[in-house]
Structure 1
């Protein structure tokens, strides 16, 4: 498997902002821009799409020039930007890659009430706007750049508490089979980019090792440890730091893992808005 060179990996939308000039916007949700020597990818589109548009313009990123739009999973804080007409016009006609279960009707039990948190567009609307690649299996998007497909579980925790979907059996727990990552093989090892990490960052890490047949150099994105106990976060972080050289917790990762990894400047990646690898 050939490696590639990352020219830019920049967070475009996140609930944590970095202090940089010019001023950039943040919101709850996630989006990142990946550019290698061969391909340009928009990974997730944020909650409203407003920070994605604003921050891309300020950073000189031409969204209309991306080759792929990749969606990490079907939740609104990662796909809601598709409901932004201005952003949609820039992305219309692109190849969009996702797991087929991304179109399931998804709900969150929030304070005892089910709230819809799924895609803002229907399947028919998505098919009219994009060229869809829906796959459960890993697929090479460009030299050294892989869509993970469905992440195998290796016995580590997944993070799906309070999440439900509509199936033929009614409303059932959602184990987030659509939660997917990007794997980029570089000369230093594989870089993982994850949206929310519902499938479990340790499962994702091991899946990346298997798919890429490579060591892991960096893991960046949401790890969904925000609501986990400190003891659990410490155990996950220790396992990560034993296997990954650089770590950039973002979005739903929580402050505990940020404080642990952030105490080691050689391991830490600032993954706030406008920052990245």
Structure 2
């Protein structure tokens, strides 16, 4: 697998903002721009899409120049940006890559009430605006960058409590088969980028190793530990700290962020405006 000599990641949407200059905005959700020497990939489009547009403009990012849109999974805080007409116009005609289950009817019940939290477009509607590639298998998008496809479980926890999907006339628990990461092979090793990490960040890391045959250098993105018991978060942090760099974002939770931040040499503050180079 080719190693990337230059990899640049810019966080365009997240719950937190990492820089005050220029003034940027955040919201619940996630979006990041990945740039290699010859390819630009937008990983997720955020919740409302407005922070993606606003922050991109402030940071000098031309969204019309991206080559691919990769969806981490079908939840609205990562795909809701498609309902923003201005963002939709800028992204029109691009190639969208996702797992086939991304278009399932996604439901949440954390508060005792069923909520719809799925992608705001059907596949038919999406294909009117984009060239859509759906795959459950790993896919090398460009040299050195792999879409994970469906993440294999290795016995570590997945984070799917309260999540359901409606199929035909039944509602079943959603094991988030559509939860997909990006694996990027740098000179230092693999950089793993997740949206929410519903598959379990430790499962994702092991899958990355199996798919690529490379060691993982860094993990960045949502690890979905915000509602996990302290002992489980501590155990995950101990495994993550075996990596060289860790950037908890979005739904990771404050505990894992503080545990990693205690190791300043390893911690990446992956909020809005952060530019990370490998």
The answer to whether TM tops 0.5 is yes
* Aligned-residue offset at 1:276: 4.2
Deviations 1:185-212 (A, max 9, x none): 0110000010000000000000001111
* Aligned-residue offset at 1:5: 2.8
Distance in 2 between residues matched to 1:19 and 1:102, nearest whole Å: 32
Distance in 1 between residues matched to 2:264 and 2:175, nearest whole Å: 35
Partner residue, 2:69: 69
Q: TM-score, normalised by structure 2?
A: 0.98
- State yes or no: 1:191 paired with 2:191: yes
Aligned-residue CA RMSD in angstroms?
Answer: 0.9
* Aligned-residue offset at 1:213: 0.7
Q: Is the 8 A contact 1:270 1:276 kept in 2?
A: no
Task: Identify unmatched segments of 5+ residues in structure 1.
Answer: none
Partner residue, 1:22: 22
Partner residue, 2:252: 253
* Aligned-residue offset at 1:165: 0.3
Partner residue, 1:47: 47
* Aligned-residue offset at 1:30: 0.4
Deviations 1:237-257 (A, max 9, x none): 101112x11000000000111
- State yes or no: 1:269 paired with 2:271: no
SS of 2:220's equivalent in the other structure is strand
Partner residue, 1:227: 227
SS of 2:244's equivalent in the other structure is strand
Distance in 1 between residues matched to 2:240 and 2:110, nearest whole Å: 30
Distance in 2 between residues matched to 1:111 and 1:265, nearest whole Å: 36
Q: Is the 8 A contact 1:6 1:34 kept in 2?
A: no
* Aligned-residue offset at 1:169: 5.4
Partner residue, 1:182: 182
* Aligned-residue offset at 1:6: 3.5
Q: TM-score, normalised by structure 1?
A: 0.98
